[in-house]
Amino acid sequence: MVDGLIGIKVGMTQVQDAEGIVTPVTVIRTGPCVVVQRKTEPQDGYAAVQLGLVEARAARRAAQCKPLAGHFKKAGVPPTRKLSEFQMLEGTEVKVGDHVRVENVFQIQDKVDVTGISKGKGYAGVVKRHHFGGGAATHGSMFHRAPGSIGGSSYPSRVFKGMKAAGRMGGEKVTVKNLRVMSVHPEENLLLISGCIPGCNGSYVTVRKIIR
């Protein structure tokens, strides 16, 4: 089978075990996913599968895009909004058009990595964006939340690339690692994972098994 699936973040809740320990969890509607394409070593240089997330609503934009429409037509599957590639696990085999469900990939106590797009925070200063400490707040100080020096004036007479400064915060691809699968609900395609994951409710995420 494959090493992961595409999902949609539903929200957060908490679960309680037999010993009374409460664990915050994130609920992800994971799959079902359809195999859209098989990547092979002779043809593509690596082995993988391209999965598409099956949703109740139709993917109209994907159907209107001619290259994507031809891609789905060649596979013989309905268009999907979200596509992602996953590795094939050894000793397994899937074909184009097969459906992969959450119970086929994940089990309770599995360790997973979750990747998503973080929430956009808009324009932010260095204190909020990079956790700068700021200056003194008393004794007549006029340096509170400013970034401070960003380089020498005489040499190098420019600002180096990558200098931490104010700017747009969030909206980036983020991966949270080593999360634990707390529960699997095959009838509703739900996966309960310990802790929090990036993105707002309703956003797409990819859940992969830890291979390390």
pLDDT of residue 59: 78
Residues 94 and 12 placed together within one structural domain of the fold = yes
Where residue 22 sits, what CATH number does that domain have? 3.30.160.810
In a domain, 194, yes or no: yes
pLDDT of residue 212: 64
* Same domain, yes or no: 115 and 129: no
Distance CA 153, CA 140 (A): 26
Co-location of 16 and 102 in the same domain: yes
51 lies in the same domain as 141: no
155 falls within a domain: no
23 and 49 fall within a common domain:
yes
Residues in the chain with pLDDT values less than 50: none
Assess contact for 52 and 85: CB atoms under 8 A: no
Are both 51 and 95 inside the same structural domain?
yes
Q: How far is CA 46 from CA 42, 87, 95, 100, 128, in A?
A: 8, 9, 16, 21, 41
129 is in which domain, residue-wise? 124-147+164-170
Confirm whether 98 is domain-assigned.
Answer: yes
pLDDT tens profile 117-151: 999 999 999 999 999 999 999 999 999 999 999 99
Residues 66 and 91 in one domain: yes
Tokens of 16: 């309680």
DSSP one-letter string for 10-57 = EEEEEEE-TT--EEEEEEEEE--EEEEEEE-HHHHSS-EEEEEE--SS
Looking at the fold, whether 130 and 38 belong to one and the same domain comes out as: no
In a domain, 158, yes or no: no
Q: Is the residue at 86 inside a domain?
A: yes
50 in a structural domain: yes
Helical H segments across the chain, by residue range: 41-44, 60-64, 66-75, 102-105, 126-130
Phi, psi at 29, each rounded to 5°: -80, 100
Is 153 contained in some domain? no
Residues 78 and 128 grouped into a single domain: no
Whether 152 maps to a domain, the answer reads no
Residues 128 and 82 in one domain: no
Residue 102 in contact with residue 191, Cβ under 8 Å?
yes
pLDDT of residue 1: 81
Q: Are residues 58 and 95 in the same domain?
A: yes
- My answer on whether 11 and 113 are in the same domain is yes
Domain count, the chain: 2
Q: In a 3-state reduction of DSSP, which class is residue 69?
A: helix
